[in-house]
Amino acid sequence: MESDDQLPEALRAISAEIPDYLFYLLFHATRQREIAFDAAFADTGINMNRLRTLSVIRRLDGCTMKDLARLTAIDRTTLTRSVDQLVEQGLVERSTPAGDRRKVQMCLSPAGEAFHTEALKVVAAFNRRALDGVSRKDQVKMLEILNQVIHNLSADRETARELVTFGGPGRHRAVA
């Protein structure tokens, strides 16, 4: 760990509080991105939580509610309501596999695929704006740091692996 005299002057006064401040800033960076996205998509009825839901459904082959809850970090009640609304909007389709009628799987409808593709263009623009002036090297370092934080905080190695690989190897749908 760096000594306080190696910290930038602006951070020396709060050096003992850096871990708290780091997570405070991380929360607000994420929140500001969500606010901007929600404003841009206000007329569509889609917010960042619903887009996150669409992205997980799009990403995973055979996506279940359990998968969604784990990978979106949205509470189950809100998530169920969101999925119901996405189904009503015609963006998500539910099905039950023949071998297990208790299991419900979801996929994007053709309209959901089209909406998701267009929404990702907007998200990519927000992401570029958010990272303006941050070098590729620093972005990679941030990924390494966040990967380590997730591993440190996860209940087990499998959960951490699943979170940092966005569903785990072998679960991803082929990209067209």
Q: What is the pTM of this model?
A: 0.77
Look-up of token digits 């005299």: 5
CA distances from 56 to 35, 67, 155, 166 (A): 20, 8, 21, 8
Share of the chain above pLDDT 70, in %: 88
Is it the case that residue 156 has pLDDT exceeding 70? yes
Q: Which phi and psi (to 5°) does residue 63 adopt? A: -70, 130
Range of the domain at 49: 14-132
How many residues are recorded in the chain?
A: 176
The CATH code of the domain that includes 59 is 1.10.10.10
Q: Report, in angstroms and rounded to the nearest whole number, the Rg of the chain calculated over CA atoms.
A: 19
140, part of any domain:
no
Is it the case that residue 171 has pLDDT exceeding 80? no
Number of domains, the chain: 1
Query: What pLDDT score does 92 carry?
Result: 94
